[in-house]
A and B are shown apart, each in its own frame.
Chain A
Amino acid sequence: KNEVEQSPQNLTAQEGEFITINCSYSVGISALHWLQQHPGGGIVSLFMLSSGKKKHGRLIATINIQEKHSSLHITASHPRDSAVYICAVRSGTGGETSGSRLTFGEGTQLTVNP
């Protein structure tokens, strides 16, 4: 079993729909990241959170530390939201030489049709 599991693997939605992507992890973490990978490969960091909820535009990320679960929501989805969304966790605090050693999920492919 992977340390980071995302669901669903693939998601197709109609423009305007509310989208939820889930991420479950099995280890204690110090932070969780949500990333977006566009067709063509570029990866952009959307959120980094360790508790509660964060919002940026139409994107909302939540995390429940006790349940080891995070969700990424997209409100009023648009075709330009079509991308792979990746969850990554950082275990423990490490030290200054450990860097940000992240464990990544396999990603969720989102397609939003007009």
Chain B
Amino acid sequence: DAGITQSPRHKVTETGTPVTLRCHQTENHRYMYWYRQDPGHGLRLIHYSYGVKDTDKGEVSDGYSVSRSKTEDFLLTLESATSSQTSVYFCATGQFSGNTIYFGEGSWLTVV
């Protein structure tokens, strides 16, 4: 398994506060992804990165921003958290486009 670490693993925050989730990988994979998982939905792509400083939006990107200043780290920021962003967030990585992807353990975020 790829070495993917997400932090924090659990967080409770108040509506309107900024929140940053960190994904750290040790495999030197080119591609990194942020997904959210909610009941009644499959995993949905928020943002992804195809290289340092190269990012693009996924299907549910509103209210989220990302940054990738180095290969190993991909940050997901909720600028002003809302209750609809309560979810489980998964980071994933992959070496090649279309190849196997590897998931982190998930970050449980509750916005109250």
Contacts of B1 in A (CB 8 A): 44
Q: Which positions 46-99 of chain B face chain A at CB distance < 8 Å?
A: 48-50, 54, 56, 58, 88, 90, 92, 94, 97-99
The stretch that binds B, out of A62-70, A72-80, A86-94, is A86-94
Main secondary structure of the interface of B (DSSP, over half): strand
What is the total of A-B residue contacts with beta carbons within 8 Å? Answer: 74
Q: Which residues of A contact B48 (CB under 8 A)?
A: 99, 101
Interface string of A70-114 (1 = CB under 8 A from B): 000000000000000010101001111111111111110000000
Size bin of chain A's contact surface: 20 to 34
- With A31-B98, A44-B1 given, is the CB distance from A105 to B33 under 8 Å? no
B84 smallest CB distance to A (angstroms): 19
Q: Once the chains bind, are A102 and B97 in contact (CB under 8 Å)?
A: no
Interface pair A96/B97, CB less than 8 Å apart: yes
Q: Which residues of B contact A98 (CB under 8 A)?
A: 50, 97
Query: Quick check: A106 and B98 within 8 Å, CB to CB?
Result: no
User: Quick one: closest B residue to A47, CB to CB?
Assistant: B100
Residues of B that sit less than 8 Å from A by CB: 1, 31, 33, 40-45, 48-50, 54, 56, 58, 88, 90, 92, 94, 97-103, 105-106, 108
Give me the interface of A with B, judged by CB distance under 8 Å.
Answer: 2, 4, 30-31, 33, 35, 40-45, 48, 86, 88, 90, 93-107
17 A-B residue pairings within 8 Å (CB atoms): A35-B103, A41-B106, A41-B108, A44-B1, A45-B103, A48-B100, A90-B98, A96-B97, A97-B56, A99-B31, A99-B33, A99-B56, A100-B101, A101-B48, A102-B45, A106-B40, A106-B42
